[in-house]
């Protein structure tokens, strides 16, 4: 039992160090998915109430696509900041945030969000992680920033400090028409 606790503490500390290293920096996306290419395959996530959303279709505004899970410790840590940011931009016509859970069902996600006072977070579901995998996401959380035309402008692996002045400035820059990918 002691060994399991030590391993758990070590793994948590290692995750924290990794999160610190990627925090506060949008990286240019170097993955293989290109939404703006003609003939790109649909990448549909489930919406509450039974609808679907094809995240490969341009949103017409800056689109923040955030993959997370209720069982993911860094996601849990990041959630209050993500929720505060989502509430802040809720009525801003220049940006949209969609938090896509890779949990298996909405019941789990809804219950988890309700327990944390986060039921107003704009969510979708990617059971089986098919869309996340097509994006190249293997660990959570992971965030993609897409232009109004559907081009991937930025990418963050790991949790984001959504209150960070640096992150906010980078997102604000990407909200401008004709924004170019973030530089590393």
pLDDT above 90 coverage of the chain, percent: 64
Rg of the chain, C-alpha, whole Å: 16
* CATH H-level, domain 24-175: superfamily: Glutaredoxin (3.40.30.10)
Lowest-confidence segment of 2-6, 51-55, 89-93 by average pLDDT: 2-6
Q: What is the pLDDT of residue 6?
A: 38
Angle, vertex CA 85, rays to CA 46 and CA 120, nearest 5: 45
What is the spatial distance between Cα 181 and Cα 178, in angstroms, rounded to a whole number?
A: 10
pLDDT above 70 coverage of the chain, percent: 75
* pLDDT higher than threshold 90 for residue 165: yes
pLDDT tens column, 3-15: 544 334 333 433 3
* pLDDT higher than threshold 50 for residue 91: yes
* pLDDT higher than threshold 50 for residue 36: no
What is the spatial distance between Cα 22 and Cα 158, in angstroms, rounded to a whole number?
A: 6
Cα atoms found within 13 Å of the Cα of residue 4, Cβ hemisphere only: 1
Pairing between β-strand 95-101 and β-strand 123-125 as defined by DSSP bridges: parallel
Q: What is the pLDDT of residue 38?
A: 37
Residue 138's Cβ-count burial label (10 Å; 0-12, 13-18, 19+) is exposed
Confidence category of residue 24, pLDDT binned at 50, 70, 90: very low
How much is the mean pLDDT over the chain?
Answer: 81
pLDDT tens column, 92-149: 999 999 999 999 999 999 999 999 999 999 999 999 999 999 999 989 999 999 999 8
What is the spatial distance between Cα 11 and Cα 70, in angstroms, rounded to a whole number?
A: 18
Q: Are 156 and 142 in contact (CB under 8 A)?
A: yes
What is the spatial distance between Cα 112 and Cα 63, in angstroms, rounded to a whole number?
A: 24
**What are the residue ranges spanned by the domains of the chain?**
24-175
- Residue scoring higher pLDDT (63 or 172): 63
H helices of the chain, in order, are 2-22, 73-89, 106-115, 130-135, 165-175
- Residue scoring higher pLDDT (151 or 24): 151
Structure tokens at 90: 């809720």
């Amino acid at each position: 039992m002691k060994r399991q606790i030590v391993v758990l503490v070590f793994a948590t500390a290692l995750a924290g160090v990794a999160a610190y290293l990627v925090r506060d920096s949008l990286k240019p996306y170097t993955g293989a998915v290109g939404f703006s290419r003609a003939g790109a395959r649909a990448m549909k996530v489930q919406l509450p109430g039974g609808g679907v959303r094809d995240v490969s279709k341009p949103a017409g505004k800056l689109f923040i696509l955030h993959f997370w899970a209720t069982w993911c410790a860094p996601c849990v840590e990041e959630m209050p900041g993500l929720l505060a940011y989502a509430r802040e931009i809720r009525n801003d016509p220049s940006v949209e945030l969609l938090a896509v859970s890779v949990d298996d069902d909405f019941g789990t996600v809804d219950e988890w969000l309700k327990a944390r006072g986060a039921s107003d977070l704009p969510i979708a579901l990617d059971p089986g992680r098919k869309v996340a995998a097509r994006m190249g996401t293997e660990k959570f959380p992971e965030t993609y920033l897409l232009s109004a035309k559907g081009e991937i402008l930025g990418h963050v692996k790991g949790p984001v400090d959504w209150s960070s002045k640096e992150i906010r400035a980078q997102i604000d820059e990407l909200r401008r028409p004709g924004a170019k990918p973030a530089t590393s």
